[in-house]
Structure 1
Amino acid sequence: MPRTSSSTVSRQWLMGGAALVAALGVGFAAAKFSTPKAPSTAEAKPATAHGADTMTMGPERLAASGVLVQPVSTSGLAAEIVAQASVEAEPGGQAVLTARAPGSISRILKRLGDPVRAGETIALVQSREAAQIAAARGVASAKADLARKVLARERSLYEQKVSPRQDLEQAQAELASAEAEARSASSAVTAADVSRDGRYVMVVSPINGRITAMAASLGAFVQPETELFRIADPAKIQIAAAVTAADANRVRPGDQAVIEANTGETRSAVVRSVTPGVSVETRSATVVLALTGGAGVLQPGQLVRARITSRQSATSGIVVPEEAVQVVEGRDAVFVRTPKGFRVQPVTVGQRSAGRVQIVEGLKGGESIATRNAFLLKAELGKSAEEE
């Protein structure tokens, strides 16, 4: 058998190695095209609530959550005057009821908290003076009727030239005097609210409202100046805020204000008037605010906080409650109300003072944001991200 040369053997080894490399390359290429492509990190990451920065929440769910939505206030912190205030009844929204004549309370027709209408009788006081006033009206009315008859007779006799003109003129004077007495007696009956039968003095409410205080007891003898009931109309209220003398000089009628109740609910108001001086006892001036909307939860006697925006200040900006600003993904942000829910809006925060924050950038006037319990929206956002 012939011996193979060394060059021939080397050439065969080289050809075999090249064939092996080619086979491995073909196999790798086939494996590359046949194996499914693994998703990248960016593609595998789902679109979380943080990524979308929105969340859906309808009105019913919003009301159940306790999250309060308020419009942003366009003013600087220096323009805001924060003052403690109290809810008071308007001058025409409260009435103190007393008996118009002394006597004993025989009937009580209403109880504490009951609604009453203007002109409605609340209690009856049996009074001797009421009987005298009613009797005086009856006597005066009878005198006036008699004077009218006498005048008619004298006029007839005068026309027949039977009696002199002097008798006619005297009859006319007597009628005028009798009618004056009748009007006076009738006015006394009206002023005392005497009942038709003349036995009672009626305690009548002059306004619509509810009974907020009651000191009447059945059978008790009362004097005309004794307070028996107090009526207040919840719809006719005003806010009295106590401010310092320096702040009072900055406030003008027509300045806008926001009233904050202890429940977190707010009401819009406007400055009606400012007292020209300060009180000797409190060393503060009183700013009277009128609500521009409904009273809501506000009731007379309730303590509230007033935030008055002075137009005299040169500073301006967006001011929101401090609790409205939440840290979302390491940034300050607020939850802006949208037609379907909320949108996370990053903001740049400026000064902080008295629970208020000035927003330098990120918000604009007219937007509404979540204020009270805004942290619940942040928690809901984080929960949605974890579920994704």
Structure 2
Amino acid sequence: MKLNINKKTVVPVAIVIAVGLLLAVLILNSGKSKNTASHDSHTEQSTHADQEHHGEKNKDAHTDGQGHADKEHHSDAIAPQKGPHGGKLFTKDGYALEVSIFEQNTAPEFRLYTYQDGKALSPADSQLTLKLERLGRAAQSFSFTAEKDYLKSTVTVDEPHSFKVGITAMHAGKNYQFNYEQIEGRISMDALKRKQNGVEIQTAGSVKLQGKLSVLGEVRLNEDSMLQIVPRLAGIVESVAVNAGDKVSKGQVLAVISSQALVDLRSDLLATQKRHALARNNFEREKKLWEEKISAEQDYLQARNTMQEAEITLQSAQQKLNSLGAGNTTGKQLSRYEIRSPIAGTITEKQITMGQSLKDDVVIFTVADLSSVWVEISIPAKDLSQVRTGQTARVSANAFDASADGKLSYVGAVMGEQTRSAKARLLLPNTAGNWYPGLTVNVALLSGDMEVAVAVANDAIQLINERPVVFGSYGDQFEARPLELGRSDGKFTEVRKGLQANEAYVIKNSFLIKAELGKAAASHDH
């Protein structure tokens, strides 16, 4: 069929087709430009991923045949791959450097491995220096020594492991520069959001701490003023005069037992007394006869020796009974043995009943003088420098409203293997009888005020991965700074390591920063 085409119609149609083709080309170019910009942005962000702390490769990063990230082939900022030892691997012109932070059973340290064309190099063949930059801190330079198949940093890598790193390497007369950044425990919060959250900042510095160390304690019997009573003679209990909790005076009869062993001792004493009396009479007679020249001197001397031996035997028998408190036998049955209290005090334990058959070494009573008690406490190793004998302490009961002042009488010289603390003891007056042995108490050891170089408010301290931290403030950035803490007075705590003087930190509502950090999954778990 033959088409009839009007020439007036062809021109408009051609114009429409041309415009359509032009629009299609523009749309395709615009889409390509947007995709390229998106990839570049991702590559830049991937170098800051927390996964790279120990050399984890970013799964989304793209590299060319030389190990260079897209758009970075001619830049020193090289996106790292994962090396044979689990570290970050950087490659340039055939020379490769692997960076790792090693912290297994040792303080964290940099370990660097070098390669040439994929083959390991001797660590001594390269000279490397590393520059580390943290928020709010001066740059730190690291030098290295060769060890086994790697170069080891001469100083440790302090927490947090959040920093920019620049490495300069020299090998075979060529210089190489590698840079990377890793972030952990860091979030951003602008001034408006800080105000909305009530976040307040303070500068760390010297603080005069009130000299007080607070610990838990337990009231114990004063072992210097208590004793356990044993019968020292076997026998049968005839009577018991006291019960646990009774107050007794010195010399008071506590119990009476019937002892056959006592019968034997008293019988020996009576017999010895009679023999001694007979020997004395014989000696006096022989002495008189010798003085009158009637008997020989030999008879006198023999009588004197016999009397002296009888005196020694009598003294021995008397001392045996005196040591038992049963020396006086006048008007008493030979088997009756009265057990008396050697001190005034309180019966804290009673383990004797009527008719009981006792051995001579069994504990039947414990008597304690409760006019003073001990308070035992444990002092952590880090606080031992704050305590000394004679130090005043304030003791407060947990179960009721009572407090008293005591003196630190003893500080142990040996640390507990499990607790890593030393035992200490307070001597506490107890004339009113308020402090019951077994009572749990709070103890505040008091001393003079002390000034520390750096301290932070206790309310600012948070726990992350079971470690105390504060959040340092650096512009719009907050970063968790792990701390080594020292002395505290309940309001402020000394910082021995982790935060420097004049560094700003979050003092109020720091828990909100911790919550934000958890939401962002920015904290790094070691």
TM-score, structure 2 as length reference: 0.44
Distance in 2 (alpha carbons) for counterparts of 1:355 and 1:219: 59
Relative to total residues, which structure has the larger helix share, 1 or 2?
1
In structure 2, the residue matched to 1:220 is: 356
In structure 1, the residue matched to 2:338 is: 202
Higher relative contact order (CA 8 A, sep 6+): 1
Identity percentage of aligned residues? 24
In structure 2, the residue matched to 1:238 is: 374
- CA distance change for structure 1 residues 233 and 292 in 2, over 3 Å: closer, same or farther? closer
Letter of the aligned partner of 2:378 in structure 1? A
In structure 2, the residue matched to 1:61 is: none
Equivalent of residue 442 in structure 2, options 278, 283, 305: 305
In structure 2, the residue matched to 1:128 is: 260
Equivalent of residue 319 in structure 2, options 177, 187, 191: 187
In structure 1, the residue matched to 2:304 is: 172
Correspondences of 1:235-314 after superposition (within 5 Å): 235-262=371-398, 263-280=400-417, 282-291=419-428, 294=431, 296-311=433-448, 313-314=450-451
- CA distance change for structure 1 residues 295 and 88 in 2, over 3 Å: closer, same or farther? farther
In structure 1, the residue matched to 2:287 is: 155
| CA displacement at 1:112 relative to structure 2 | 2.1
Letter of the aligned partner of 2:408 in structure 1? V
Letter of the aligned partner of 2:295 in structure 1? S
After superposition, give the CA deviation of every residue in 1:126-172 in whole Å (9 maximum; x if it has no partner).
Answer: 11101111111111222221221111111101101122222222222
Distance in 2 (alpha carbons) for counterparts of 1:113 and 1:292: 19
Larger radius of gyration: 2
Letter of the aligned partner of 1:170 in structure 2? Q
**In the alignment, is the contact (CA less than 8 A) between 1:250 and 1:312 conserved in 2?**
no
In structure 1, the residue matched to 2:216 is: 84
**In the alignment, is the contact (CA less than 8 A) between 2:238 and 2:257 conserved in 1?**
yes
Alignment root-mean-square deviation, CA: 2.6
3-state SS of 2:223 partner? coil
3-state SS of 1:276 partner? strand
| CA displacement at 1:240 relative to structure 2 | 1.9
Distance in 2 (alpha carbons) for counterparts of 1:160 and 1:314: 94
- CA distance change for structure 1 residues 191 and 121 in 2, over 3 Å: closer, same or farther? same
Q: Does 1:211 align with 2:343?
A: no
**In the alignment, is the contact (CA less than 8 A) between 2:218 and 2:440 conserved in 1?**
yes
Distance in 1 (alpha carbons) for counterparts of 2:419 and 2:233: 39
3-state SS of 1:249 partner? helix
| CA displacement at 1:223 relative to structure 2 | 0.5
Letter of the aligned partner of 2:427 in structure 1? A
- CA distance change for structure 1 residues 236 and 153 in 2, over 3 Å: closer, same or farther? farther
Relative to total residues, which structure has the larger strand share, 1 or 2?
2
After superposition, give the CA deviation of every residue in 1:254-280 in whole Å (9 maximum; x if it has no partner).
Answer: 211111112131110111221211244
Distance in 1 (alpha carbons) for counterparts of 2:418 and 2:274: 58
4+ runs of 1 displaced by more than 4 Å?
A: 292-296, 311-315, 353-358
Distance in 2 (alpha carbons) for counterparts of 1:177 and 1:276: 52
- Structure 1 unaligned segments of length 5 or more: list them: 1-75, 316-352, 359-388
Distance in 1 (alpha carbons) for counterparts of 2:413 and 2:313: 47
**In the alignment, is the contact (CA less than 8 A) between 1:100 and 1:193 conserved in 2?**
no
TM-score, structure 1 as length reference: 0.58
- CA distance change for structure 1 residues 280 and 193 in 2, over 3 Å: closer, same or farther? farther
- CA distance change for structure 1 residues 354 and 227 in 2, over 3 Å: closer, same or farther? farther
3-state SS of 2:305 partner? helix
Letter of the aligned partner of 2:218 in structure 1? S
| CA displacement at 1:311 relative to structure 2 | 4.9
**In the alignment, is the contact (CA less than 8 A) between 1:87 and 1:303 conserved in 2?**
yes
Equivalent of residue 226 in structure 2, options 78, 91, 94: 94
3-state SS of 1:257 partner? strand
| CA displacement at 1:354 relative to structure 2 | 9.0
Query: Aligned pair count?
Result: 247
